[in-house]
Amino acid sequence: MPEVWKNQKKLQSLQQNKKRLERDVQLSSSLYKKKEEFEVLVELAEEGEDVDKEITDVLASLQKDLAGAELQMHFYKEDDVRNAIFTIHPGAGGTESQDWAQILLRMYLRYAERKGFKTEILDILPGDEAGLKSVTVRVEGDYAYGNLSQESGVHRLVRISPFDANKKRHTSFAAVFVYPEVEEDIEIEINPEDLRVDTYRSSGRGGQHVNVTDSAVRITHIPTGIVVQCQNERSQHKNKATSMKVLKARLYELEKKAKLEKFEKLEDAKSDIAWGNQIRSYVLHPYRMIKDTRTNVDIGDVERVLDGDIDEFIKASLLLRKKAEE
């Protein structure tokens, strides 16, 4: 035990695992208690007691907890429990696609808020007129990666463009890439000689908080061509540390994919992240419908989905993942 206390990184990892196990035990205990309460209320109802409202309330609460427990069963991969880092990149189409990327960013930030996750925008490049050219976001919370990993792919939008004076229908694409955050329990070897580090001035919004020093950092991993950057912090040192964290996450994901392709035959089960191969279509005109092309789940309430309620899509995708690997 003394050795564990000396290793703060290992201790922190153990404490996080302990909290997750305690939450699992608490959920199991809550389900059991509500089940007993429901059975007692049913007995009282059979004896003529007026407990209809109590039965309805307990049943609704029990069903909600059961749905949560059912979702937990789909998180069985090693990285599912980790924090997530995701990026959004608009496709060709200028302002229209950049605005679509901004809409997706809002959807995921609202989703994270609904789930109780903590979010931090690490880097963002605004569009020329509206929207954004790219964004990188860190999401902290239990099973953040397990949930958001199902969102990796190309998202397609069909709508009447608010930027078109002729009110024509436009189709836009944006790609979402999700990576598990690499914690201290995973060793990722990076040779400093393989890195090119550039500093530049942050593109702030102006005013008294504009950064007038070259504190933003861009790191290029020469062997793979991966480029990461961060301008969120005012300190160049902190921006570099955050950029390295994002780089490690991307290299870790790259290594995982290489192992899958080399040692396993899962090509049919994997989603190919490529332009033109959308995982989900968001149609706002001539009808209103959002459909996941992998699971065939469709939802007509587009406002609810774009406001972050994407649990139904994620749950169906997780179920499909499990069936594909059985």
Q: What is the pLDDT of residue 260?
A: 59
What's the DSSP call for residue 209?
A: G
pLDDT tens for residues 13-46?
666 677 667 777 777 888 888 889 888 898 888 8
Q: Tell me what pLDDT residue 2 has.
A: 58
Whole-number pLDDT of residue 111: 98
Tokens describing residue 157: 């939008």
Give me the residues of the chain with pLDDT under 70, please. 1-16, 19-20, 184-186, 203-213, 259-276, 326
Compute the distance between CA of residue 96 and CA of residue 164 in angstroms, rounded to an integer: 9
pLDDT at residue 201, as a whole number: 80
Where b means 16+ CB within 10 Å and e means fewer, 180-217 reads bbbbeeeeeeeeeeeeeeeeeebeeeeeeeeeeeebbb
| Contact indicator for 316, 292 with CB cutoff of 8 Å | yes
> How many of the other CB atoms lie within 10 Å of CB of 318?
21
Where does 192-259 sit in CATH, by number?
3.30.160.20
Of 89, 162, 157, 165, the closest CA to residue 127 belongs to 89
State the pLDDT at residue 257: 77
Question: What's the pLDDT score for residue 209?
Answer: 42
Alpha helices in the chain (DSSP H): 2-6, 8-46, 52-72, 95-115, 144-148, 236-263, 302-306, 311-324
- pTM for this entry: 0.75
Amino acid 155: pLDDT: 96
The SS3 of residue 12 is helix
Question: Rounded to whole angstroms, how far apart are CA atoms 272 and 177?
Answer: 11
**What local confidence, expressed as pLDDT, does residue 202 receive?**
73
Q: What is the pLDDT of residues 211-248, one digit of tens each?
A: 446 789 999 999 999 999 998 877 889 999 999 989 99
CATH for 84-184+264-324 is: 3.30.70.1660
